[in-house]
Amino acid sequence: MYATNYHRASSVDEAVRLLSNADEGKYVSGGMTLIATMKQRLASPSDLVDLRHIPSIKGIRVDGRRVTIGAATIHADVASSAAIRAVCPALCDLAGMIGDPHVRHMGTIGGSVANNDPAADYPSAMLALNATIVTDRRQIAADDFFRGLFETALEGAEIITSIAFDAPERAGYAKFPNPASRYAMTGVFVAKGAGGVRVAVTGAGADGVFRQTEMEQALAANFLPEAVAGVTVDPGALLSDLHATAEYRANLIKVMAKRAVAAA
Ligand SMILES: Cc1cc2nc3c(=O)[nH]c(=O)nc-3n(C[C@H](O)[C@H](O)[C@H](O)COP(=O)(O)OP(=O)(O)OC[C@H]3O[C@@H](n4cnc5c(N)ncnc54)[C@H](O)[C@@H]3O)c2cc1C
């Protein structure tokens, strides 16, 4: 056993102050990843600063097509949001595919994005939707936020407070889930908006979530599932593990991209 100090923050400023004063503290939100990591002794923070009771970082706002989701919003609330479904149903569908009901009622969008697990669903949506990650001190474009396996642009005690994006004209998500965990063995989010087509892949990249630019070009010319058939996916930069080889994931990227476009 080891001792951990628990703090319940009631504002973002208080959370930042508590973490800055801790020896080796960590924010905890849904705890779905962090608590499991602590149980496995892969992390042993001196202090846990709980973000779940900060009202300003919870909830969903949709103004026209501008969607803002508080970082401490649980996956179940995104999945069931009528306001988001009216403008971007693909994101509700994605949230509804995360884990199981327990995970969806505890895990948060901010925790998922901050964790940047290479098989997590939300990072692909953030990239494809060209989302902005809003923190207590700046706004970071998704293209600049995800930096590799479990790596992000977050610094020190920086807190994600919300994520925001303009809902695209059309979007779709398809994933091939690991049958045990439901994490993506490969997931593809496709969005078509004013800025063109963006395609983001999770679960398959050896360096985490990435944009599939060849598919973006093919779909910009012809937004139909058949358009990705002619794209060659190089397995060289893909993940090989006990679940699937890189070649298998390369094929899954094409199959999931076709399904995502059909869903869009
Ligand atoms: C059985 C199981 C199945 C799962 N299946 C899936 C799945 O299919 N798809 C999927 O995408 N995910 C899946 N997950 C992960 C789940 O979505 C988690 O909710 C998510 O990864 C982490 O969110 P959390 O709120 O629990 O974060 P926590 O575990 O509390 O924190 C994770 C990390 O993020 C940091 N953090 C949390 N909030 C913030 C913030 N606002 N600002 C800055 N840093 C922050 C913490 O310090 C910590 O380092 C699964 C988890 C489990 C246990």
Q: What is the CATH number of the domain that holds 11?
A: 3.30.43.10
Residue 112 Cα to ligand 1 middle (Å)? 4
- Together in a domain, 21 and 116: no
Residue 28 Cα to ligand 1 middle (Å)? 9
Structural domain of 40? 5-50
Six-digit token string for 206: 């050896």
Residue among 24, 28, 33, 189 whose CB has most ligand 1 atoms within 8 A, to mutate? 33
- Together in a domain, 43 and 81: no
- Together in a domain, 141 and 187: yes
Residue 35 three-state SS: helix
Q: b/e string for 158-174 if b means 16 or more Cβ within 10 A?
A: bbbbbbebbbbebbbbb
Q: Please give the number of the atom of ligand 1 that sits closest to the Cα of 74.
A: 25
For atom 36 of ligand 1, which residue has the closest CA? 111
- Together in a domain, 39 and 102: no
For atom 28 of ligand 1, which residue has the closest CA? 31
Contact criterion met (CB below 8 Å) for 56 and 154: no
- Together in a domain, 42 and 65: no
CATH code of the domain containing 135: 3.30.465.10
Q: What DSSP string runs through 132-182? A: EEEESS-EEEHHHHEEETTEES--TT--EEEEEEEPPSEEEEEEEE-TTT-
Q: Nearest Cα to 7, choosing from 49, 54, 51?
A: 49
For atom 23 of ligand 1, which residue has the closest CA? 111
For atom 21 of ligand 1, which residue has the closest CA? 112
- Identify the pLDDT of residue 2: 76
Per the structure, how many domains does the chain have? 2
Q: Please give the number of the atom of ligand 1 that sits closest to the Cα of 183.
A: 8
- Identify the pLDDT of residue 241: 93
pLDDT along the chain (264 residues), means of 10: 90 98 96 94 94 97 98 98 98 97 98 97 98 98 97 97 98 95 95 95 97 97 94 94 95 98 97
220: exposed, middle or buried (Cβ count in 10 Å: 0-12, 13-18, 19+): middle
Residue 117 Cα to ligand 1 middle (Å)? 8
Cα distance between residue 86 and residue 65, in whole Å: 9
Q: Which of 50, 65, 80 is where one domain is finished? A: 50
- Together in a domain, 28 and 104: no
Residue among 28, 105, 133 whose CB has most ligand 1 atoms within 8 A, to mutate? 28
- Together in a domain, 85 and 202: yes
Contact criterion met (CB below 8 Å) for 80 and 92: yes
- Identify the pLDDT of residue 1: 57
Residue among 16, 29, 42, 53 whose CB has most ligand 1 atoms within 8 A, to mutate? 29
Q: Which residues make beta-bridge pairs with 151?
A: 148
What's the number of CA atoms in the CB half-sphere (13 Å) around residue 20? 10
- Together in a domain, 30 and 103: no
Q: Nearest Cα to 46, choosing from 23, 19, 14, 16?
A: 23
Cα distance between residue 98 and residue 93, in whole Å: 9
- Together in a domain, 22 and 152: no
- Together in a domain, 141 and 119: yes
- Together in a domain, 174 and 150: yes
For atom 49 of ligand 1, which residue has the closest CA? 115
**Alpha helix segments (H runs only) across 40-137:** 75-79, 82-87, 89-96, 101-106, 109-115, 122-128
Residue 21 Cα to ligand 1 middle (Å)? 24
- Together in a domain, 150 and 26: no
Cα distance between residue 121 and residue 96, in whole Å: 10
Q: Please give the number of the atom of ligand 1 that sits closest to the Cα of 32.
A: 26
